[in-house]
Structure 1
Amino acid sequence: MSFLKEFKEFAMRGNVMDLAVGVIIGAAFGKIVSSLVADVIMPPLGMLLGGVDFTSLKLTLAPPIDGMKGATLNYGNFIQAMVDFIIVAFAIFMMVKGLNTLKRRMEPPAQDAPPPVPADVALLTEIRDLLRARQA
């Protein structure tokens, strides 16, 4: 089998194509969530906290010297990324929860397994079988 033919079979498998679609949709969803956080959620939150712009929050480690950029610790961007992550994680959790609920509804009800035999009944059954074996 040629290398190209083998690669084509691999790439056209259902799971690989599903994964590719999931990655593309996930990237687009991530952009939507980032915009939601940056443009809709953070401005009112910053206003409630006294007019804070989270993206401008930083700690200067070294000031700019001779036209070179200074070193800063941009913790505001980190806060914004954390909010992005929490929203994406919650959305994915809700989606998976919904899919699991739908899957459970579509599955036929499981047959009830017989209840386990209590230990004392099992012991008496074993004694009975030993007595029968002795008599035979």
Structure 2
Amino acid sequence: MHISLAEFELSYRGLVQYRIRPHLDGLTPKEAKTLKLTVLPSAQQVFINLKIAHIESVRNCEKGLKQLLSEPNQVAFAIVEEFVDRTIRAADVEKEWQLLLQLVRSQIWDDFLGEQGQMQHEWINSVEQATTVDEETSEVDAIFALMNM
């Protein structure tokens, strides 16, 4: 599996959900963490138990989320380090770069020459415009010179 550095993405499901889910067990009936009711519970008892379970779940989720705050940075750092290891620090990496450059050499030169050709074209146009302005200025100077005679 190849993961591109540019495609790196963290998802809720992959990073957060599995860590938060256990904190919600107190809200699930028949779970060990769920507060127990009497044999014939009143509506008041059910309400109080749910309120307590809700408060505990929210508090535990907040704690879990606070611990996660630094993890995306740690994950990104690990991915960047792995990329650097594979592309710069690896043994014989220079040979692999040379092989890659040989494979894409024509594309690189085409792009380079294309940009260079575009710049050359723009430069020639600029010179032609400057020459035209210079010629027009010379004609105006000649007219004024004739007028002063």
Q: Same fold (TM over 0.5)?
A: no
| Structure with the largest fraction of helix | 2
| Structure with the largest fraction of strand | 1
Which of 1 and 2 has higher RCO (CA within 8 Å, sep 6+)? 2
